[in-house]
Structure 1
Amino acid sequence: MSYNLNDINEDTKSARESALLGNYEDSVVFYEGVLQHIQKLLLTVKEPERRRKWQQVRQEIAQEYEYVKDIIKILSSFKSDSSRNSNQDYGLRGYDDYGRHEEPTRDPDVWPPPTPVEHRPSPNIRGGIRVAPKKDVPTSKYRPAGKPSAPSDRDKKRVGGPSYGGGRDRDRGREKRKEEEAEKKFDPSGYDKDLVENLERDIVQRNPNIHWEDIADLVEAKKLLQEAVVLPLIIPDFFKGIRRPWKGVLMVGPPGTGKTLLAKAVATECGTTFFNVSSSTLTSKYRGESEKLVRLLFEMARFYAPSTIFIDEIDSICSRRGSDSEHEASRRVKSELLVQMDGVAGACGTEESNKIVMVLAATNFPWDIDEALRRRLEKRIYIPLPTVKGREELLKINIKDLEVAPDVDLSEIAEKLDGYSGADITNVCRDAAMMSFRRRIQGLGPEEIRNIPKEELNMPMSMEDFIEAMKKVNKSVSKDDLERYIKWMNEFGSV
C-alpha cells in the first residue's frame, strides 16, 4: 500500500481530532498506523539530519499515543468499578426487590450454553460484486457498527472546522490498518500473559536520541556495529549465505568507555526493534520461569525481526559454568540462553532478508564469561580508553552549552587527562563547571544566594577551573586492569 507524507499528515490530524471528540478507540487506531508507517519510512531515510527530525516526530506522536491509551484505561476502570458495584448491590437485594431469584454462580470449569446466532440478510451482491449504496440514502445506515457518526457543527467549531469528506474511504483504510497492526502484534496465546507483558515493557519504544556523532572516537567500534546491524537492513540482498550478518557482538572494555552509549546509538540509528535486557529482566523466584523468559525473549525478537537484543553486564547472567558456587537454577538459565542463541543463527541465515536478530552484549569482566557463550558471540571488540583526539572531542561535547574563557586550551587539558575514561572526563567537566559557582556563594546564606543575579552565576570556565577539577577527580582504571584486557583480547579477540 502506497503511503506518502500527506497520508501521514492526514492520519495524524484524524487521530488528534478523534481524541478531541472523545472517539479514543478510533484515535488509537490512527496513531498506531502513523507510528508503523513512520517506522517504515525511517528504514529508507539515509540523511542523518532528516532522519533525526523524523525520529523526533515519532517520539512526539508516541507520547500522544500513550496519553490516549491512558485515558482509555481510566475510562475502562470506571466502567469495571461501576459494574462491580451494581453486581454487589444486586447480590444484597432479595427476591422481592427484583421479582426473581438471584442467578446461581456458574462453575468456571463448565462451558456455558451457546449463544443464539442472529441471522441477518446477506449484502446485496450482483454477479460477485458488492453493490454500492444509493446516493440519496444516508451514509449513516451503511456505517459499520461501533463507528462514530459525523460530528455536529459545535464539534466542528471546536476542532477548527475540518473537512470530513470521504468518511467511508477513511473507515476502510482504518480497517486495513487494524488488520496490519493485528498481524504485527505478538500473540501471547500459549505463553504466560504476565511474562509477555513484562518483556513488552523492555522493548525500547522511545528514541534514546544518541547518534554516532555524539560518541567521540571509537571509530572501529562504530564501523563494526554499522556493518553488523545497519548495512544488512540497507542492502539485505548482499548479506546472504556466508556473508550473513553476525549473530552476536560482544563489547569488552573498562567501565565508562561508552559500551552502553554505543548500544543506545544502535537503537537510535537503526529502525530495528530494540530489546534492552538486564539480569533482573530474566530472573524470577518461581522455578522454571526464568528459562521461559529467555525463550520468550528470543521468540518475540524473531517475531519483531529485524531486532537487536542488548544484554548489559552479560557476565552476571552467563558466567562460567561448573563452579562450586553455581546454583542449579542459574545453570538452567545459561543453558537456555545458549540454546536460543544457536537458534538465532538459523533465523539470520534464512533467505528472508528481514529475519535478522542480533545479540549485542557488553561486559567489564570478559574472563568470567562461559566458553560456549564466547563462541556464540562471534565478534568480540575492545572498547579502549579514549585517545588524545578522543579526549579532546569529549571535552568539546561536554562543554558545548557552557561559556569558556579564552585562556582554556582543550588540547593541553586532553594531554593531561591521559588514562582517564570517558566517564572520568565527564566528571572532570562537571566539577570544573561548578568551580566559579562555588567561589561566588562561599560564605553566603540561602537568602543571599537566592538574590544573586544570573549573570554572576553563569561565569565562563577558566583554565584554572579545569586544573583544580583534575586534582579532585582521579582516573578509575588502573594499568593492571588495562593489561588484563589487552591480554584477553590477544587471546580471544575477534575484531
Structure 2
Amino acid sequence: MNLADICDNAKKGREYALLGNYDSSIVYYQGVIQQIHKHCQSLRDPALKVKWQQVRQELTEEYEQVKGIMGTLESFKSEKPVDILTPQLEEKVEDPAVWPPPTPAEHRYVCLCMWNSLSEPQKKDSPAMQHRGAGPVSRGQGNPKSERPGYKDARGTKAKDDKKGSGETPGDVEQKKFDGTGYDSDLVDSLERDIVSRNPNVHWDDIADLEDAKKLLREAVVLPMWMPDFFKGIRRPWKGVLMVGPPGTGKTMLAKAVATECGTTFFNVSSSTLTSKYRGESEKLVRLLFEMARFYAPTTIFIDEIDSICGRRGTSDEHEASRRVKSELLIQMDGVGGALENDDPSKMVMVLAATNFPWDIDEALRRRLEKRIYIPLPTASGRVELLKINLREVELAADVDLDLIAEKIEGYSGADITNVCRDASMMAMRRRIQGLSPEEIRALSKDELQMPVTMEDFTLTLKKISKSVSAADLEKYEAWMAEFGSV
C-alpha cells in the first residue's frame, strides 16, 4: 500500500469539498477510507494501528458531513411545497382543464413555510404553527409583505432611504446632499470634506475671557437667528466678520462657538481648499464653495489666514491666477448676504475670517468684512481661567497659587499658557523616571506616575518657555485697529 496515494486522495477529497464539488469529494473520501481499512489490516504494530484507526474515524466524520450537505442541497430542489398547495388551488378553480395562474413570489414563500410546518410533525399541533398555516393564501393576498421576515431587510431599507431622500422625516433636513450637477465630482467631494460639522459642539463657556469679542459675535451672527423679525432692512445681519489678533488667542475656537450657538453648517476653508494646479479651476472652487454654502444655509464659512488667499492686489509679485481667485472671492462675498436678497436670516451665509496680518488684506475685502474685531491677549482674570481649564484633569499640590502664576505669564497667548501647563504637568514624571532603565520605566504602574504638580514645576517651566508675541507686534495690531477697526 502506497502511503502517498492515501495522503493524495485525502487531500483531493477535502479540496473538492471546499470547492463545492461534493460528488467528486465523496468518491475520494470513500476510496481513502477503504485504503486505510486495508492498510490497518496489514499492520502488526498495535500502537501504529490505533493511530491509523483514529485517522480513519476523522475522515469518516468528514465524509458524513459532506453527505449531510449534499442531502440538504437536494432538499432545496424538491417540489414538495408546490404539490402540497396544488389541491387547494384546484378546489378554487372552476374548470379543471384550465391551468391556474402562476403563484406570486409572496405566496411561494408562504407555501414553503407551510411545507416546513407539515414536515415537522412534532411542531404541527403547536398554536404558533396552526396560526401560521391557517389560510396562507388569503393572508398573503391581504398583506403579503408583512408575512415575509426577509422583506424588511431586503426592501425596507430602500424604502426608508427613499423616504429620507424625499425629506419627509424632520431629522433628515440637515443630512441633505448637495447636487453637484455641472461641477466636477472631485471638486464637490473635496469641499464636502471641509464641512467640519453641522454642530462643532463648542460653546461660549468653553472659551476663557474674550467677553467683548463674544458679545459682538453674538450680535453679528447669533442674534439674527434668534430674532429674525428685528434684523430686517437697515438692521440686516452683517455679511462678514474679520477677527484680528496675535497667533494663539482663540480665533478658531470663537468661529466654532459661533457655528454651534447658531446651529449652522460650519465650513473650515484654507488656502489649499481653494487652489488647484489646473487653470481656471480655483475660481470654480470659490464659486462652488459659496453655492454649497447657500444650499446648506444657514452657513458659517470660516476662512483661516485669509491674507494668504486674498492679499493686496496690484503688487509686483502678484500672479494672474491668484488675482482671478481674489476677484471671484470678492464677487461671491458681495452677494452672499442672504438678508440683501431675502430678509429671512435662516438663509444667510456668514463669512467669518481670521488673520494675523490684517495690513496685508486687500482693501475691497476689508470693506466686505463689515465687522473687524480685535482678539487680544488674555487678561489677568482670563489667564487664571485658562489655567483652571487646562489643569482640571491634573492633581495640583497645595502650594500652587494660580493667581501668582497668572501674574508671571503676563503677555502670554492662550496657546503659550497651554504649553506651560502641559510642560509643568510632565515635570513629576520626568523626576520619577530619571536614572531608570527602559525595563524599569515600563514596569512603573499608573499610580506611581500620578503625582501632583507643584509650584516648583511651574517655576522651572516658566524659565524654559517664553512668550511668542512681542510688544512691537501688539503695537502694530493696535495701530491697525485704531485706523480700520469696526467693533
TM over 0.5: yes
1:279 aligns with 2:271: yes
Seen in structure 2, the aligned counterparts of structure 1 residues 380 and 139 have a Cα distance that, compared at 3 Å, is farther
Q: Counting helix residues as a fraction of each chain, which structure ranks higher? A: 2
Residue in 1 aligned with 2:301?
Answer: 309
1:177 aligns with 2:164: yes
Could you tell me which runs of 5 or more consecutive residues in structure 2 were left unpaired when the two chains were aligned.
1-136
Could you tell me which runs of 5 or more consecutive residues in structure 1 were left unpaired when the two chains were aligned.
1-133, 157-166
1:463 aligns with 2:473: no
Residue in 1 aligned with 2:316?
Answer: 324
Question: SS state of the match for residue 404, structure 1?
Answer: coil
Shift of 1:263: 1.3
1:388 aligns with 2:373: no
Greater Cα shift, 374-383 or 239-248 = 239-248
Check whether the contact 1:255–1:364 (CA below 8 A) recurs between aligned residues.
Answer: yes
Distance 1:292 1:368 in 2: 24
The residue correspondences of 1:77-156 to structure 2 (distance < 5 A) are 136=139, 138=141, 150-151=148-149
Structure number with greater Rg is: 2
Seen in structure 2, the aligned counterparts of structure 1 residues 478 and 136 have a Cα distance that, compared at 3 Å, is same
Cα RMSD, aligned residues only: 2.6
Residue in 2 aligned with 1:472?
Answer: 464
Residue in 1 aligned with 2:107?
Answer: none
TM-score by length of 1: 0.66
Question: SS state of the match for residue 359, structure 1?
Answer: strand
Distance 1:272 1:424 in 2: 30
Distance 1:273 1:207 in 2: 7
Residue in 2 aligned with 1:8?
Answer: none
Check whether the contact 1:239–1:245 (CA below 8 A) recurs between aligned residues.
Answer: yes
Question: SS state of the match for residue 190, structure 1?
Answer: coil
TM-score by length of 2: 0.67
Residue in 2 aligned with 1:378?
Answer: 370
Question: SS state of the match for residue 181, structure 2?
Answer: coil
Check whether the contact 1:436–1:457 (CA below 8 A) recurs between aligned residues.
Answer: yes
The residue correspondences of 1:283-432 to structure 2 (distance < 5 A) are 283-345=275-337, 348-432=340-424
Aligned pairs, number: 345
Check whether the contact 2:224–2:231 (CA below 8 A) recurs between aligned residues.
Answer: yes
Question: SS state of the match for residue 204, structure 1?
Answer: strand
Question: SS state of the match for residue 303, structure 2?
Answer: strand
Residue type of the alignment partner of 1:203: I
Check whether the contact 1:250–1:361 (CA below 8 A) recurs between aligned residues.
Answer: yes
Residue in 2 aligned with 1:448?
Answer: 440
Greater Cα shift, 227-236 or 377-386 = 227-236
Distance 2:238 2:272 in 1: 26
Check whether the contact 2:198–2:264 (CA below 8 A) recurs between aligned residues.
Answer: no
Check whether the contact 1:251–1:380 (CA below 8 A) recurs between aligned residues.
Answer: yes
Shift of 1:321: 0.4
The residue correspondences of 1:150-299 to structure 2 (distance < 5 A) are 150-151=148-149, 175-180=162-167, 184-205=176-197, 207-299=199-291
Distance 2:212 2:240 in 1: 17
Check whether the contact 2:217–2:258 (CA below 8 A) recurs between aligned residues.
Answer: yes
Alignment match of 1:488 (pick from 475, 480, 485): 480
Check whether the contact 1:245–1:348 (CA below 8 A) recurs between aligned residues.
Answer: no
1:294-323, Cα deviation, whole Å (9 max, x unpaired): 011111111111111000000000000011
Residue type of the alignment partner of 1:228: A
Check whether the contact 1:382–1:489 (CA below 8 A) recurs between aligned residues.
Answer: yes
Q: Percent same amino acid among aligned pairs?
A: 72
Shift of 1:452: 2.0
Residue in 2 aligned with 1:65?
Answer: none
Distance 2:147 2:187 in 1: 39
Shift of 1:171: 9.1
Distance 1:266 1:486 in 2: 24
Shift of 1:135: 8.6
Residue type of the alignment partner of 1:215: I
Residue in 1 aligned with 2:125?
Answer: none
Distance 1:208 1:273 in 2: 9
Question: SS state of the match for residue 344, structure 1?
Answer: coil
Question: SS state of the match for residue 354, structure 1?
Answer: helix
Question: SS state of the match for residue 321, structure 1?
Answer: coil
Residue in 2 aligned with 1:83?
Answer: none
Shift of 1:136: 4.7
1:224-264, Cα deviation, whole Å (9 max, x unpaired): 22222222222212111111111100000000101111112
1:284-303, Cα deviation, whole Å (9 max, x unpaired): 00000000000111111111
Distance 2:142 2:184 in 1: 44
